[in-house]
A and B are shown apart, each in its own frame.
Chain A
Amino acid sequence: MANRAGAQRPNGATQGKICQFKLVLLGESAVGKSSLVLRFVKGQFHEYQESTIGAAFLTQTVCLDDTTVKFEIWDTAGQERYHSLAPMYYRGAQAAIVVYDITNQDTFGRAKTWVKELQRQASPNIVIALAGNKSDLSNKRMVEYEEAQAYAEENSLLFMETSAKTAMNVNDIFLAIAKKLPKNEGGGAAQPRQQGMKINNSETSQASEGGCCK
């Protein structure tokens, strides 16, 4: 059900182009980063989703027309203290989802800080999406849709309000990112393999080298 928008298990996709992208989730803790990933990858939602320590890694493949897009998703710890680890994860990422919780104004402020940091430090062509999560709790809303949308436009970010709980807009935001990512040879942001973060292995290195398609 969660994968209705064409998401598919990795082994299903063989024809057409295959693209591999590294995507990182950032945002204050408990805004629902892990829940969004869990919804996108496994179609599940856990009420008592455990906190993330360090980072977690998951993959999911979506099909876009004739292209198969494989996301390598890094879900990071939200606490400010783990900030020093974040660059390790967003370095070389072609896409980022910065998440805030629509019922908490502070988390929106924190999201803006993340966007700034990404604009300054991450790969220059990185696609950034802003997700206002927990939209199912709209009666507790503290961050107005318009306010966030205006901010997103100013900074040319993709923007959606999502709910990991009801699955609203979850696949859509990943698909929107997939659409926006360059899929032609050499068009993608180069994926410099930094030391301490070598994630290509011998079998998939051709596919992931350069972070684009074969």
Chain B
Amino acid sequence: MTMLGKAEYGVTTFFTRSHPNDKCGANGLPLTPNSVKVLGRFQGLKHLKHPQICKYLDIVKDKHERMVIVCEHYRNCLSSKSSTFSSREKLTEIAYGVLKGLAYLNSIGITHRNLSKDNILFDAEGQVKLAEYGLYYMTGYGAEVAFPIGMPQYLAPEVLAEAPITVDEHSDVEPEVLNPSGPKVDVWSLGMILLEMMCAQDLWTGLTMPQIFHKIFAFLKTDQSPLQSIAKDNSLTETLKTLTPDVVEFLNKCLTVSVKHRPSPSELLKDDIFTELRLKEVPYRNGFQLFSTESRCKDLELPVYGENGTIMQDFDFDHLSLRNMEEVYYLWRLAGGDLEALLRKEGLVITKPPITLLPSFCTNEGDVFGQRRDRAELLDSIVITASQEQLRNRLSEVDEKAYYPLLEDEQSSMTSSLPLSPSSSDLTNTASLPLVIKEKDVEYQFHRIILYERLLKAYPYKRAHIWKEARVDIPPLVRAPVWAALLEVEGDIEGLYNSIDKDTITPTDRQIEVDIPRCHQYHELLSSPTAHVKFKRVLKAWVVSHPEYVYWQGLDSLCAPFLALNFTNEALAYACLTAFIPKYLHKIFLKDNSQVIQEYLAVFSHLIAFHDPELGNHLDGIGFIPDLYAIPWFLTMYAHVFPLHKIVHLWDTLLLGNSSFPLCIGVAILQQFRDRLLSFGFNECILLFSDMPEIDIQRCVQDSIKIFCSTPKSATYRQHARPPKKAQKEESRPNLSYYSRDYNDQPSTDLSMEPIPIEELKREKVPRISAEDLIELGELTGPAHSKSPTKRKQNSKPMLLVVDVRTDSDWLKQHHVTTCKSSYKPEWFAGVQKSW
């Protein structure tokens, strides 16, 4: 976690290169827009964490391939305060900081290639913070943008020696940089920058770009040291003599023409010039991570008490600055932070009347001429700082204590633990508002995020509490870890994932490869090449590590929500998928799953008939059977039929239910279209669901919960459902509610359900229930240990009407007082399907 501290949010923008209009890739599909490729690659950058680099926070794809990037930012940079940095000590310190940052980036395969005095920043404590280090990497080493990356005067000779990227508009191979710059180019740039700083003078001022390039090229041809030539060029020979020999030596190392002999950042860190700094250094530890076992109070500093026992601390403490930077950014956006408005205000986006934007000429292929895109080919090096004022105002009335909620009080319900807030009077009101509103409410999200963040730190111990909060809602910002917690993901997920062979070619690969480019591709992130690579790895990992199962089309859809949420954490995406499948799709991915599917669909038909006999009869009568429409629903847990933004809301609740819950969602969907379905014939019904119609997902969720709660548990019994979990596991878990437990996980007695053959099951129209449920629901015995979900008020009537259809003699022999007698008439019985 990177704390906000005194950081600001810096906003930069650039355009990616647009493709010519009619071009297609080798597979006949249109080329992935460069902006989408950049978007995908950027995600990896968001994950980088080091004290010497600014954290990337967000990327937004705007109109016309414009990218807007949000990054941690400080106003102090090397170019702004040159004079104060001229001391040798200070400069070695800066060099050391820059090199540490570079070495970290190199360790994960990133070259800065864009180092300049404008992007070496300093935080409030004067620590070096590198910015813009991701531009070269995220643009495919510059291939996806039309502007050059890097300041000309700082470019290393070998950068210029390489062939520039040429784009042949008519070939169908995309430009690709085959030989991207390595870490040592940054060392050259650092050398040039340091030299400028030492001499307090910019080099080669007044030269044009070709002239500068000419100078740099010249180094390749002579044996003279670049340092000396540069000094001569800029009349700095005298100044150089005033520098100590070790400094000159260091500069010479940086400005070595031969790449082979020039040291890399990590080698330079060991240079003698840094000996003193190295000794003072406190080793850097990565911050807190989900599922780590490290003690988090290690660096706890106890408050200092004054003489009269009060804590010596300034009262105007900025609590927000201790929050996670991403979290504050998320709230900033909720509080009305608008990137495009910001750019417009600064004049970076200029809005013109649309009529002036019409092209003068347009070819049949759709290429347009006579209209210049604003600044389209250029990089704006301007960094706009986004003001936090609006957010701080919104949160100004929040009580200090709200930043540190207590978790101990587990008895109190979530709603009562929500603090009263002066501005929106009572947040418990907000808690009951529709999700779309809650998710936009800054204050509400603020409290929820802080609470969840604390709970997640205490996972798995606070599992039960997380579960309870998740019933209220899950803030989008923390959805990924909360889902993982609900799925009980634990342990060394990273190690496990790394140990799986995701590279060896298998026969399944072709199928996976044809499915991925068709899976949720409207989603910008998932349509990026980076996503496709990750997608394939996660799916392959699952197939390889589950030899009892096989890849079924649909598994890709199932994986998509987890990948989209955990885009920078493949291991967690995999762990969630692996935990999800046995919970809801036990045995469904068997090579021969027909028995399992048949049973599932039969139980689904029964459930429709149970909850809505009229609809059930109608659908059955016209032959609209679940086999024809519901397979993609269940096989993918609706991930194939809904867009991602709906899936996440559906799964927020699904994850709290047991393995029968998906059946209830199915009934809820049918009921949402009840009127239409009842008036439709077969063709219209099946057409309706061929393309899942627009659905009110929140209503669907509410209805499913109602349906679930009014279904006797044994009614959804499936013999192919997951067998009882091992008791040992059960003990380590909190006592989850009745709803979340599976029927099979309950102690079975001789009154429990027993499997019946599939043919028989399919012939039946309505569900069977267990004798146990019968006894309990009909209150045929005294107060039982509550097993059924149907909570109800005391002294209300039994929920069950039992009709005895046995022969008269049997009835006379023995019957229960509350049951009614019916002389058995099949046609009469067929009508009564829902018993209350």
| Interface of A toward B, CB cutoff 8 Å | 29-30, 47-59, 72, 77-79, 81-82, 84-85, 88, 103, 134, 136-137, 140, 165, 196-204
Contacts and interface: CB of A to CB of B under 8 A. Distances in A.
A201 B552 contact: no
A191 B687 CA distance: 21
Nearest to A54: B631
Contacts, number: 101
Interface string B601-639: 000000000000000000001110101110110011000
Contact of B553 (A56, A82, A136, A140): A82
B519 A81 contact: no
Contacts of B556: 51
A51 B26 contact: no
Contacts of A197: 623, 628
13 contacts: A29-B515, A30-B518, A47-B29, A48-B517, A53-B632, A53-B640, A56-B690, A72-B683, A78-B553, A81-B550, A81-B552, A140-B26, A198-B623
A51 B518 contact: yes
B625 A79 contact: no
A103 to B, nearest CB: 8
A196 B623 CA distance: 8
Given A57-B690, A82-B553, A134-B28, A199 B682 contact: yes
B591 A59 contact: no
Contacts of A204: 681-683
Contacts of B30: 47
A201 B622 contact: yes
Interface in B522-579: 522, 527, 550, 552-554, 556-557
B681 A165 contact: no
A48 B521 contact: yes
B511 interface: yes
Given A56-B690, A59-B683, A72-B683, A196 B511 contact: no
Contacts of A165: 28
B687 A58 contact: yes
A167 B557 CA distance: 28
B199 interface: no
A64 B38 CA distance: 51
Nearest to A57: B686
A83 B592 CA distance: 11
B625 A196 contact: yes
B628 A55 contact: yes
A129 B333 CA distance: 56
B357 to A, nearest CB: 26
Nearest to A81: B552
A31 to B, nearest CB: 9
Contacts of B625: 196, 198
Interface string B239-262: 000000000000000000000000
Nearest to B589: A81
Interface size for chain B: under 10, 10 to 19, 20 to 34, or 35 or more residues?
35 or more
A69 to B, nearest CB: 15
A143 to B, nearest CB: 15
Nearest to B591: A81
A140 B29 CA distance: 13
A200 B515 CA distance: 33
A136 B552 contact: no
A59 B687 contact: yes
A141 B19 CA distance: 25
A9 to B, nearest CB: 13
Nearest to B688: A57
B812 interface: no
Contacts of A30: 514-515, 518
B594 interface: yes
B644 to A, nearest CB: 13
Contacts of B29: 47-48
Q: Counting chain B CB atoms within 10 Å of each CB, which of A54, A85, A204 scores highest?
A: A54
B690 A58 contact: yes
A51 B552 CA distance: 11
Contacts of B621: 201-202
A29 B553 contact: yes
Interface in B7-35: 26, 28-30
B522 A196 contact: no
Contacts of A85: 631
A192 to B, nearest CB: 14
A59 B681 CA distance: 13
A179 to B, nearest CB: 23
B28 A196 contact: no
B518 A77 contact: no
A71 to B, nearest CB: 11
Contacts of B627: 88, 196
Nearest to B685: A201
B818 to A, nearest CB: 39
Nearest to B550: A81
B628 A201 contact: no
B522 A48 contact: yes
A77 B553 contact: yes
A200 B682 contact: yes
